[in-house]
Amino acid sequence: MLNISNIDITERIEGEKFKTIRLVEGKSSRKTFIRFLYIISFVSLILLFLPWTQNIRTNGNVTTLKPSQRPQTINSIIPGKIEKWFVQEGDFVKKGDTIAFLSEIKDKYFDTSLMSRTQNQMNLKSSTVDSYKSKVMALQSQKTALEELRKLKIQQGRNKLLQATLKAQNDSNNYLAAIANYAAAISQFNRTDSLYKDGLKSLTDLENKRVKEQKAFAYRIEGQNKWLASQNEIINAQVELSNIRVKFDSDIAKINSDIFSTLSTQFDSEGTVNKLMNELSNYSFRNDLYYVKAPQDGYISSMVYAGIGEMIKEGDPLVRIMPTQYQLGVELFVDPIDLPLMNIGQKVQIQFDGWPAVVFAGWPNASYGTYSGHVYAMDMFLGENGKFRILVKPDSTDIPWPNALMYGGGTNNMILLNDVPIWYELWRNINGFPPDFYKNKEQTNLNQKKK
């Protein structure tokens, strides 16, 4: 019962009958208990000033630092039917080893002589291209010959025009002379006629002057006709020169048209040749794709398709392969609130699943069975699990990681932060404060180099 009344019952208890009461109330036991309390208090006070390493606990798994060293799926680039498997699960393959053989399922590629026929088409089209090139060269030669002949004909027409011009000038001078002679003959006839009327000249002299006048008139008419004929010759020479230019320009334009038409056909044929070359190259490359080969050394871990004769689509996975050469690392995930405490090069203590370990959270150096690592990379975006992924690589200055580690194994990780006294860590946890923001010397030196 509870002693809640004012009546004291201690006097009614006979303590000497009870050994425990006798030991507690004895002087020697009381001193021992008090001494024990002092020692506990003193040790606890000392422990409060011991260093404590702040850390973040998180789980993770073993991975590789390079994506090319992680398990990968070998896909089929082309659709086909599985005809033969050359490996089985667990086999070791080297780079370039054949894994499977596929057969064609598209009727476009059923022809066994497809490449040779395509090659013949390409050769024929190439010959056509060469023929068009020869035709273009012949037309170019014909054009050059016409241009040379055009120059000669134009020069000939210019010479005729010059001759006609000079002849017209000569006929013009003769015509002017005939006009002057005719005027002189008229003047002489008039003077002779006056003298004849005065009786100073005979009738014979008068008739002679009349004859000379008629001859001079005839010469003037003849000179005028020759001058007009020369003018017509000039016009004819100009017309002939213009006809020469028009004729040869038309012939050269026709040859240019034939050249451009031939070049157009030639370019079209060259395009067909290039298309056939592309198809031939694709057919050759496709033939190599019938044999699915290993991209690197590794072990066949699993097969997606197992049977013979199964149909696969383009891009379907066939097998999964695990590379033999890899550099292990650890990927772990931290909460967004802890991300500001992370930085490249930060130290991490790792406990691998399957390896026994004795872990002291606040004293990582006193832990046994854990391995050291450094933060290698951090994702700058939130993962699907609501946390940020961090990659850790082995610490080359510490104990090497076990050789028997396998990809995908689980880990228990401690991301080490600042060293503080135990009393400070207790005070921080009681008040709910976050760990101290900490940067190691490597990160500080790296930032200084960047600056």
Same domain, 213 and 226: yes
* pLDDT computed for residue 443 by the predictor: 46
**Residues in Cβ contact with 401 at an 8 Å cutoff, skipping those fewer than 6 apart:** 328, 352, 371, 394
343 in any annotated domain: yes
Which segments in the chain show pLDDT lower than 70?
Answer: 1-31, 49-55, 357-369, 416-422, 424-425, 428-429, 431-451
pLDDT at 41: 80
Domain, as residue range, for 91: 72-104+290-323
Which distant-in-sequence residues (6+ apart) come within 8 Å of 88 by Cβ?
Answer: 300, 303
**Same structural domain for residues 306 and 418?**
no
Same domain, 258 and 137: yes
Instruction: Return the pLDDT at 137.
Output: 92
pLDDT in tens, 32-68: 777 778 788 877 777 776 666 666 778 888 888 888 8
- Residues 251, 343, single domain; the answer is no
CATH number, domain of 252, equals: 1.10.287.2610
Residue type, 197: K
Evaluated on CA atoms 237, 242, 245, 247, the torsion sign reads negative
Contacts of 65 (CB under 8 A, 6+ apart): 327, 328, 329, 376, 391, 393
Question: Is 109 inside any structural domain?
Answer: no
* Token reading at 365: 């150096």
Beta bridge partners of 73: 320
Please count the structural domains in the chain: 4
Q: What is the pLDDT of residues 147-172, one digit of tens each?
A: 899 899 889 888 888 888 888 888 88
82 and 135 co-located in one domain: no
What is the pLDDT at residue 426? 72
Report which DSSP code applies to 383: -
- Residue 419 sits in the same domain as residue 378: yes
Minimal CA–CA distance to 350: which of 62, 139, 142? 62
CA distances from 417 to 56, 251, 344, 446 (A): 8, 93, 13, 18
Last residue of a domain, one of 265, 298, 323: 323
For 396, phi then psi, to 5°, come to -70, -15
In the prediction, which pLDDT does 1 show? 45
Same domain, 277 and 294: no
CA-to-CA distance for 256 and 262, rounded, in angstroms? 10
